[in-house]
Amino acid sequence: MTLSEGILQRKLSQPFRYFPSVTSTNDLAKSWIMEGAPDGAVVIADEQLCGRGRFGRVWRTPPDAALAISVILRPPAAMIARINMIGAVSVYDLVAQIGCDAVGIKWPNDIQVQGKKISGILVDNVWMQDNLRGVVLGIGVNVRIDFSQSELRETAVSLEDVAGVPLDRAELIRVLLERLEFWYQRIDADDVFDTWRSRLNMLGHPVVAEGIAGRALDVTAEGSLLVEDHLGEAREVTAGDVTAVTGQRSEA
Ligand code: BTN
């Protein structure tokens, strides 16, 4: 079903702005923060023309095929590292609720199904001098993007491919925002970190992260990855990508 303001109005209780086509929902959300958007406000688009991924990468959001949402949050500055975590566990909940098997979080916040990426998360913090004005939690989910002819066909997948049935994007957004609200309310509780950590799919496995080859040992409370290098030293990786060396996954 096509997304529309009216359909979303009937589904959502939080303030939102819907656009058929935008540059990037994260960019609109950042502007809305400066206008005084309330905690929990959401920007939703059917299509993004300049969707942004991590590290300046392009994120594809063709019309009628994906979720592109940016949630405005105003957490205490000490909780910033947890925004990634609540985003990832919320998307995981959504995907698991649909009945997909072998769901995992690829550190730090990609959601994979059967080892292929189904969702990505981009967090933008908005500072004014030393004051945190707000955080944008941007979430993209592939719902029915056809990757079969794309260079991403080995690494990306869409929800409908794995669910095997047509999915209603407005309902997916409702469930996702409901899961986010659940986790955001518990942002300072231990189970946010514990749940995120338990769903990471590479802990204990050989990986390469930011040029460090070794075994993914654990994660820190701030969300860094600890990789045991060939000398047996634990090296901390704060940001970047991790690649499984063997192609194995585990449901840690
Ligand atoms: C990544 O895996 O590189 C992160 C992708 C994040 C994409 C989402 S889609 C909604 C929001 N708007 C953007 O421009 N990016 C995020």
Residue whose C-alpha is closest to residue 39's, from 179, 138, 172, 184 = 184
Task: Give distance in angstroms: CA of 29 to centre of ligand 1.
Answer: 12
239 lines ligand 1 (CB under 6 A): no
121 lines ligand 1 (CB under 6 A): yes
Task: Give distance in angstroms: CA of 160 to centre of ligand 1.
Answer: 19
pLDDT of residue 192: 97
For 29, 186, 200, 234, the CA distances from 195, given in Å and listed in that order, are 27, 12, 9, 22
Residue whose C-alpha is closest to residue 134's, from 35, 5, 209 = 35
Task: Give distance in angstroms: CA of 252 to centre of ligand 1.
Answer: 25
Please list the pLDDT of the chain residue by residue as tens digits (252 residues).
789 999 999 999 999 999 999 999 999 999 999 999 999 999 999 999 999 999 999 999 999 999 999 999 999 999 999 999 999 999 999 999 998 889 999 999 999 999 999 999 999 999 999 899 999 999 999 999 999 999 999 999 999 999 999 999 999 999 999 999 999 999 999 999 999 999 999 999 999 999 999 999 999 999 999 999 999 999 999 998 899 886 444 443
pLDDT of residue 241: 86
